[in-house]
């Protein structure tokens, strides 16, 4: 086996070492762009419709399709698609979400999932899959946590790189997103993430850096939000200095859908492609800027060349994929990401039990994916009841009671009574619960980590009975677990995709080992978390005053332990770790561990390596993950894993030097089963001539005003005034005006009408997402996401009227806008 970059050893074989895709030809791309006039170049820098990148047929380059796809393909093969997951899409395998894949800690498996997604994209003629997402889970209530991999940047980067390699092995591009610091959903298009430079580098950019350098993605998607006062879509430091100059990225940067704020500034900063298409909403402004000299032809040419290079790379031929094999892979991945949190010996279940009671509506109506742009139309969908009945022996009776409403989680006296009756006398009770879809989605954040009261009351009532109780959870984000000590087994399955319940049944009966280890800490209560003080922040600003103190970096240093720690997970078998050793000078270290399966079942284990400094001139986390390896072993089998640590594993970002520096001193290299379960620790001396700039530590885990300003290097930014209204004002801002209320009501009705036309009965999560997105989105979205229905002159006239500038032109434009809204 060859070591993977940054120390993770792997034996994965890429499906196609030479992807069946045309190569980029930079010289030819430059020549093509040079032959275009200004208008043609500018037109090339925005999509032709919702998911289509315009082509250059005169140069033999057809238009290409892109499609959402963090955990499966959401391909809308039509011009009037949508970016919120409202409309239908071509069926595709719905793999487990990133929350599940992250808990697998299995780069080889994640790469196989990527290969399958890439194969289905190639079959459907999709050139770029819009995923994976690897934003850090700063706070567990983030609405999009199900789409992200971990609270840790090293783990996120490694797994994202694996998925990108898998997708691109089929000659299809991947897209890392959302770059950067997009860690919650509330007011995501206008919020400014205020974060100090060191925290930005060490926590929020490191995962992207690993993925870019280890997988060479074709594209990167910028985030909606501002980062320290500058929109990510026009952030020169992030898009050019960091991404391209420092990390060596040579692909294309596109916007998230509707994220463009100032296209002139964006093009100068290195933003190549605006999506979706809007019939050239920015074209006139860009051509004027070129004429005035406010935008350089060189910047336009650079972006246009990268668009042409993407068109060159696009695979043209289609090959059929294997949906049955992909469904089986999805089932394997679901089990691999399921985390067994507690087990008093009731699991695995006995297949010859006399009676198994299944309680919970999710057994019949499975919760398997999140709402929003990643919502996949599955090729099939398994149900717990069906598979469980098929799995047990002929002498086993399976009884069922819904117990609660699957849309709300609420129970009633009647439902509760039915659940207790079904449980009475059973050999074991399996409760299937979790978060109903309306409680978590893209577009909004959760306001609590609690499960629905109805579910909790049912669990507590069942736990008080004599029958053994197994609780199986399906949720995209962490939840409070006040009952964990009162149930006989607790299995966290996250959102496992279309075959997720197959994975659940496999784990319940021991047909496979629960392979998951937590990729995010589960707190006793959310109020303990430093980030909770500033989550989601104010509509236009969120301050990252907790710096590094998120997840295990907080729990393991604060005396506030997690209820279930990062990296934790139980198995049905046992493992012995022996011959643990460390070798190598300074910051070039190899850690070796011999892992033996000492039980009577096949299973998997995860070797985790953390680095802990012995004192430092800068505040550092108590320890940080710097390496890991997953091993799969048959009973009695052994394997020696070697994990390498390089200079970066010991480095900190020095703001003064603007570089990664290593402080000389002693570091503990900790080999552990989780962040709190060390097996061995080695004091290792690292020599270095780097001069690390001292930084004062904050008094607590949440910086006060003075500490935060000092860490930022400037005063804390003040919030912008609501008035005068601008293109970045929201309908929420306008609710104090009559025109604003009328416009908001009308736009909401149009959007909801579209949703119900596409789906006569859209789920509550989708409706809430639409309402929130409309209310919190900037007014420029009326132009950028209208498909050309609205134009900037009409919007600017409306703003002039709202700001009291009641000229004839403004009134005429406002009247025209009202007529357009009414007609639509």
Residue 320, CB-side half-sphere exposure with 13 Å CA sphere: 4
Alpha-carbon distance 799 to 809, whole Å?
A: 12
Contacts of 548 by beta carbon, 8 Å cutoff, 6+ apart:
199, 202, 203, 619, 620, 621
Sign of CA dihedral 252, 256, 258, 262: negative
User: Would residue 712 be called left, alpha or beta, if left means φ above 0 and alpha means ψ between -120 and 50 degrees?
Assistant: alpha
**427-to-350, 402, 458, 468, 724 alpha-carbon distances in Å:** 9, 19, 18, 7, 67
Helices (H), 24-130: 26-34, 38-44, 98-104, 107-123
Centroid of chain to Cα 295? 34
Which one, of 521, 519, 520, 549, lies nearest residue 533 by Cα?
549
- Is 256 considered catalytic here? yes
Catalytic residue (choose from 152, 256, 445, 654):
256
CB count within 10 Å of CB 559 equals: 6
Measured in degrees and rounded to the nearest 5, phi and psi for residue 339 equal -110, 120
Provide DSSP, 783-820.
Answer: HHTTTTSS-HHHHHHHHHHHTT---HHHHHHHHHHHHH
Asked whether the beta carbons of 93 and 72 are under 8 A apart, the reply is yes
56: which 2 tokens?
A: 């250059």
Alpha-carbon distance 684 to 703, whole Å?
A: 32
Which one, of 445, 423, 345, 435, lies nearest residue 141 by Cα?
445
Alpha-carbon distance 576 to 735, whole Å?
A: 63
Helices (H), 149-220: 153-168, 197-199, 206-215
Report which DSSP code applies to 239.
I
Helices (H), 362-492: 384-391, 413-423, 453-463
Alpha-carbon distance 815 to 821, whole Å?
A: 10
Residue for token pair 């004192």? 615
Residue for token pair 């061995």? 680
Catalytic residues, by residue number, are 256
């Amino acid at each position: 086996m060859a070591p993977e970059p940054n120390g993770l050893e792997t034996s994965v074989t890429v499906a196609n070492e030479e992807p069946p895709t045309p190569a980029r030809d930079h010289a030819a791309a430059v020549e093509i762009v040079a032959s275009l006039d200004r208008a043609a170049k500018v037109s090339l820098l925005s999509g032709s419709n919702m998911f289509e990148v315009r082509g250059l047929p005169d140069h033999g380059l057809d238009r290409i399709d892109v499609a959402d796809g963090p955990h499966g393909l959401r391909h809308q093969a039509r011009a009037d698609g949508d970016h919120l997951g409202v409309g239908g899409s071509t069926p595709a395998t719905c793999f487990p979400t990133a929350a599940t894949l992250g808990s697998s800690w299995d780069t080889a498996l994640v790469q196989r999932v990527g290969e399958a997604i890439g194969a289905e994209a190639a079959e459907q003629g999709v050139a770029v899959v819009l995923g994976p997402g690897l934003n850090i889970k700063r706070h567990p209530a983030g609405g999009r946590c199900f789409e992200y991999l971990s609270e840790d940047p090293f783990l996120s980067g490694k797994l994202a790189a694996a998925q990108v390699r898998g997708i691109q092995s089929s000659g299809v591009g991947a897209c890392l997103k959302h770059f950067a610091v997009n860690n919650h959903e509330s007011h995501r298009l206008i919020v400014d993430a205020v974060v100090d430079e060191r925290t930005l580098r060490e926590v929020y950019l490191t995962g992207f850096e690993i993925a870019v350098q280890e997988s060479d993605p074709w594209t990167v998607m910028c985030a909606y939000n501002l980062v320290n006062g500058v929109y990510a879509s026009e952030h020169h430091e992030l898009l050019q200095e960091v991404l391209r100059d420092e990390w060596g990225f040579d692909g294309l940067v596109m916007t998230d859908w509707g994220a463009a704020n100032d296209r002139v500034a964006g093009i100068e900063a290195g933003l190549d492609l605006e999506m979706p298409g809007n019939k050239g909403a920015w074209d006139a402004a860009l051509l004027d800027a070129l004429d005035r000299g406010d935008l350089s032809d060189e910047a336009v040419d650079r972006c246009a060349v990268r668009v042409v290079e993407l068109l060159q790379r696009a695979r043209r031929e289609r090959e059929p994929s294997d949906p049955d094999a992909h469904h089986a892979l999805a089932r394997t991945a679901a089990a691999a990401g399921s985390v067994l949190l507690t087990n008093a010996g009731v699991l695995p279940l006995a297949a010859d039990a006399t009676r198994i009671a299944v309680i919970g509506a999710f057994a019949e109506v499975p919760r398997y994916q999140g709402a929003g742009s990643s919502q996949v139309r599955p090729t099939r969908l398994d149900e717990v009841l069906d598979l469980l009945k098929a799995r047990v022996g002929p002498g086993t009776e399976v009884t069922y009671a819904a117990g609660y409403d699957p849309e709300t989680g609420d129970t009633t006296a009647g439902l509760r009574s039915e659940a207790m009756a079904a449980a009475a006398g059973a050999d074991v009770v399996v409760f299937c619960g979790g978060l109903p879809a309306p409680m978590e989605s893209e577009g909004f954040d959760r306001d609590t980590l609690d499960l629905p009261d109805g579910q909790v009351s049912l669990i507590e009532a069942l736990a008080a009975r004599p029958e053994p109780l197994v609780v199986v959870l399906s949720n995209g984000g962490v939840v409070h677990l006040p009952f964990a000590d009162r149930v006989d087994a607790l299995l966290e399955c996250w959102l496992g995709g279309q075959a997720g319940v197959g994975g659940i049944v496999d784990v319940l009966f021991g047909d496979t080992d629960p392979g998951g280890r937590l990729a995010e800490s589960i707190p006793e209560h959310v109020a303990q978390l430093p980030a909770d003080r500033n989550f989601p922040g104010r509509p236009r600003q969120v301050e990252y005053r907790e710096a590094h103190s998120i997840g295990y970096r907080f729990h393991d240093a604060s005396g506030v332990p997690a209820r279930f720690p990062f990296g934790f997970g139980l198995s049905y078998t046992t493992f012995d770790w022996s011959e643990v050793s460390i070798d190598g000078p300074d910051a070039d270290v190899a850690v070796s561990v011999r892992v033996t399966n000492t039980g009577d079942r096949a299973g998997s284990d995860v070797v985790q390596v953390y680095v802990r400094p012995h004192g430092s001139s800068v505040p550092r986390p108590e320890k940080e993950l710097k390496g890991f390896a997953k091993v799969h072993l048959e009973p009695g089998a052994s394997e020696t894993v070697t994990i390498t640590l390089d200079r970066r594993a010991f480095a900190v970002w020095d703001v003064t030097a603007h570089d990664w520096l290593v402080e000389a001193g002693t570091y503990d290299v900790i080999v552990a089963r989780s962040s709190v379960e060390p097996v061995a620790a080695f004091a290792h001396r690292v020599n270095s001539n780097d001069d690390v700039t001292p930084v004062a530590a904050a008094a607590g885990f949440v910086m006060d005003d003075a500490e935060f300003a000092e860490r930022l290097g400037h005063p804390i930014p003040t919030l912008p005034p609501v008035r005068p209204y601008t293109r970045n004002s929201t309908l929420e801002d306008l609710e104090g005006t009559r025109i604003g209320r009328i416009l908001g009501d009308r736009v909401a009705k149009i959007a909801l009408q579209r949703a119900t036309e596409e789906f006569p009965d859209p789920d509550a999560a989708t409706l809430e997402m639409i309402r929130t997105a409309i209310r919190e989105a900037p007014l420029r979205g009326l132009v950028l996401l209208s498909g050309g229905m609205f134009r900037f002159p009409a919007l600017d006239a409306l703003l002039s009227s709202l700001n009291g500038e009641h000229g004839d032109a403004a009134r005429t434009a406002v009247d025209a806008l009202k007529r357009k809204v009414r007609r639509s």
